């Protein structure tokens, strides 16, 4: 199994490190060719506008096609914004594959960053989560499964092969969320 980590901008190395702690081979992907032969893809946090501008149209359209065909993707923070169908204040999504609307920077400014512990459906309790200018999920469709909330706000969800989190699991030593995604990738291969 090889899991790609979108490497245009953001917390790329940290996801690679989390995967390697689980013994999973990964590849940093910056171009369309880099997507060949992958079994799953992580879209890291950073700045969604920057990531979308750095990605070529061809690259974005290939990501859209892959996401539509059931290829497992996990978006954290800015990565979640890229995967959302709706972004408050914007007319359209970027990859737009999970039926949620997100509110960017809903958790506050950089100086308002915080770490907390979440109880996550299907994953476990007291999972550490780092929020940095995090988006919240303000709407989710009927086929989306909400998995965690923070102060009444939905912060993690899954729809079929797409998993998203408002926060950064890769900035902690806890690998349970990555393990869960690796399980999704495995299930997809069977
Ligand atoms: N606020 C950023 C955005 O809108 C996301 C922040 C993050 O990924 N830590 O893209």
Distance from the alpha carbon of residue 25 to the mean position of ligand 1, in angstroms: 26
- Global pTM value: 0.97
| Element containing residue 170 per DSSP (H, E) | none
Active site residues: 77, 168, 170
Query: What is the C-alpha to C-alpha distance for residues 27 and 145, in angstroms, rounded to an integer?
Result: 28
Q: Which stretches does DSSP call E strand in 30-175? A: 40-43, 73-76, 84-87, 98-103, 114-120, 124-131, 136-140, 145-150, 153-159, 162-165
Structure tokens at 52: 């979308």
Distance from the alpha carbon of residue 134 to the mean position of ligand 1, in angstroms: 6
All residues at 6 or more sequence positions from 36 whose CB lies less than 8 Å from its CB, including other chains:
none
- Residue 105 beta carbon below 6 angstroms from any ligand 1 atom: yes
Query: What is the C-alpha to C-alpha distance for residues 46 and 79, in angstroms, rounded to an integer?
Result: 8
CATH entry, 2-189, from 3.20.20.60, 3.40.50.880, 3.30.70.100, 3.90.1010.10: 3.40.50.880
Supply the residue whose CA is at minimum distance from atom 5 of ligand 1: 78
Contact call for residues 166 and 135 (beta carbons, < 8 A) = yes
Q: Tens place of pLDDT for every residue, the chain, 190 residues? A: 999 999 999 999 999 999 999 999 999 999 999 999 999 999 999 999 999 999 999 999 999 999 999 999 999 999 999 999 999 999 999 999 999 999 999 999 999 999 999 999 999 999 999 999 999 999 999 999 999 999 999 999 999 999 999 999 999 999 999 999 999 999 998 7
All residues at 6 or more sequence positions from 41 whose CB lies less than 8 Å from its CB, including other chains:
3, 4, 5, 6, 29, 35, 63, 66, 71, 72, 73, 74
**Burial class of residue 189 in the structure, from the number of CB atoms within 10 Å of its CB (0-12 exposed, 13-18 middle, 19+ buried):** exposed
């Amino acid at each position: 199994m090889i899991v790609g980590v979108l490497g245009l901008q953001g917390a790329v190395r940290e996801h690679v490190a989390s995967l390697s702690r689980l013994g999973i081979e990964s590849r940093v992907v910056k171009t369309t060719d880099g997507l060949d032969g992958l079994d799953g893809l992580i879209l890291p946090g950073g700045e969604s506008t920057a990531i979308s501008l750095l990605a070529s149209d061809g690259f974005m359209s290939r990501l859209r096609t892959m996401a539509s065909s059931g290829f497992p993707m996990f978006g954290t923070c800015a990565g979640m914004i890229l995967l959302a169908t709706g972004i408050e204040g914007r007319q359209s999504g970027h990859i737009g594959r999970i039926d949620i609307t997100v509110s960017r920077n809903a958790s506050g400014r950089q100086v308002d960053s915080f770490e907390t512990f979440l109880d996550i459906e299907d994953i476990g309790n007291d999972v550490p989560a780092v929020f940095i200018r995090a988006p919240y999920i303000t709407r989710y469709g009927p086929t989306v499964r909400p998995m965690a909330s923070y102060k009444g706000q939905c912060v993690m969800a899954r729809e079929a092969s797409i998993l998203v989190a408002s926060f950064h699991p890769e900035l902690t030593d806890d690998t349970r969320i990555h393990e869960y995604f690796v399980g999704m990738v495995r299930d997809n291969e069977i």
